[in-house]
């Protein structure tokens, strides 16, 4: 595999960043995952951390160096992440489980497979145009599809952040799956939270990514989304993959997995404690509470890591 990849998460104007993102790859398979936590101080980011960490660790156990069935893998890990979040809440006697959206994508044999829950999105782009996009699990999306709202009105609707499917919710999550999507050199896959796509104009992503260089385009889009969000800018997070299986090696600063050992992985995922840095200080969260949260996250994940 040959590709370029860019990931970044920003708190926006919020006191804490409840988004979590990660990517990891073996010699022959790649995983990207983005989660947007909900549920108040600390717990939303715990739910997102459980989802991203569980999916990433499961991929590293099973992609040796390929997954046998990417769709079955995605179904299993998202379902198990949901139950791990519920177990975390039960073990702490929380009145309500924390929740998170999640979108995850696997690429192997030059084919992309993805699944999502909630309103974190994946865009697949070719020749500067969006050829596939996830469908938000939100009330506003249903209103747009029913003709009750225009896409422009949906961006300003007061219920735009209300979703009906998530990990950690009271009901089993609705998980939507993509079709098998063959990738061509120059294709772009973009995974992002609603804090990124929400403030952007409808054509901003297509326009900015038309050149295909994710390393240059994504910082510009992040700045634009954060500026458009104003004083209430939400957490905003992205992972963008430029598929360059036949690119000129002297051109883009890309990744080649050709010489990787079969049992090796490269991973980019911040620890729970490090991901909190950069957020404004919260007086009711001590270092001991952070450390205890990390231990509880790992305990919840271990139950489903067999």
SS3 43: helix
Give the tokens for residue 200.
Answer: 């952007």
**CA-to-CA distance for 247 and 266, rounded, in angstroms?**
21
Give the tokens for residue 246.
Answer: 């036949």
Q: Say how many C-beta atoms besides its own lie within 10 A of residue 17's C-beta.
A: 25
Is residue 38 within 8 Å of residue 44, measured between CB atoms? yes
Return per-residue pLDDT of the chain as tens, 306 residues. 999 999 999 999 998 899 999 999 999 999 999 999 986 656 789 999 999 999 999 999 999 889 999 999 999 999 999 999 999 999 888 888 899 999 999 999 999 999 999 999 999 999 999 999 999 998 776 776 666 676 665 666 655 667 889 999 888 999 999 999 999 999 999 999 999 999 998 789 999 998 768 999 999 999 999 999 999 899 999 999 999 874 334 444 467 786 677 777 788 787 666 676 554 544 456 677 778 888 888 888 888 886
DSSP-assigned letter for residue 231 = G
**CA-to-CA distance for 166 and 119, rounded, in angstroms?**
9
SS3 content of the chain, % helix, strand, coil (to 5): 35, 25, 40
How far is CA 253 from each of CA 2, 62, 103, 133, rounded to the nearest angstrom? 10, 28, 26, 27
Tell me whether strands 255-256 and 2-10 are parallel, antiparallel or unpaired.
antiparallel
Cα angle 133, 158, 236; round to 5: 50
Can you list the domains of the chain with their CATH numbers? 2-302 (3.60.40.10)
Give bridge partners of residue 114 from the DSSP assignment. Answer: 105
Give the phi and the psi of residue 138 in degrees, each rounded to 5. -135, 155
Who's near 86: CB < 8 A, 6+ residues apart?
97, 168
Q: Say how many C-beta atoms besides its own lie within 10 A of residue 286's C-beta.
A: 10
pTM, 2 dp? 0.87
Q: What is the pLDDT of residue 239?
A: 98
**CA-to-CA distance for 59 and 32, rounded, in angstroms?**
10
Is residue 70 within 8 Å of residue 32, measured between CB atoms? no
Who's near 232: CB < 8 A, 6+ residues apart?
13
E strand residue ranges, the chain:
2-10, 19-25, 29-38, 99-108, 111-117, 121-126, 129-133, 176-177, 181-182, 188-192, 236-243, 255-256, 266-268
């Amino acid at each position: 595999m040959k590709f370029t990849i860019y990931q970044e998460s920003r708190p926006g104007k919020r006191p804490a960043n409840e988004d979590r993102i990660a990517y990891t790859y073996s010699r022959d398979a790649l995983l990207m995952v983005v989660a947007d936590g909900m549920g108040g101080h600390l717990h939303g980011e715990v739910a997102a951390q459980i989802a991203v960490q569980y999916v990433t660790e499961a991929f590293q156990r099973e992609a040796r160096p390929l997954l046998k069935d990417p769709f079955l893998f995605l179904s299993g890990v998202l379902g198990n992440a949901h139950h791990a979040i519920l177990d975390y809440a039960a073990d702490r006697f929380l009145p309500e489980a924390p929740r998170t959206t999640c979108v995850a994508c696997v690429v192997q044999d030059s084919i992309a497979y993805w699944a999502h829950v909630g309103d974190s999105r994946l865009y697949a782009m070719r020749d500067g145009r969006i050829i596939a996009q996830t469908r938000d699990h939100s009330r506003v999306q249903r209103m747009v599809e029913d003709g009750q709202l225009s896409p422009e009105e949906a961006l300003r609707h007061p219920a735009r952040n209300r979703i009906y499917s998530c990990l950690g919710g009271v009901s089993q999550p609705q998980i939507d799956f993509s079709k098998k999507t063959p990738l061509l050199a120059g294709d772009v896959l973009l995974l992002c939270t609603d804090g990124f796509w929400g403030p952007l104009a409808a054509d901003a992503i297509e326009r900015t990514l038309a050149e295909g260089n994710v390393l240059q385009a994504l910082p510009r889009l992040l700045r634009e989304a954060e500026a458009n969000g104003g004083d209430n800018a939400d957490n905003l997070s992205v992972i963008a993959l430029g598929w360059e299986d036949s690119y000129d090696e002297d051109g883009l600063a890309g990744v080649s997995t050709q010489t990787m050992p079969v049992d090796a992985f490269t991973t980019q995922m911040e620890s729970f404690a490090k991901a909190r840095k950069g957020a404004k200080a919260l007086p009711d969260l001590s270092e001991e509470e952070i450390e205890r949260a990390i231990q509880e996250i790992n305990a919840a994940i271990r139950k489903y890591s067999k």
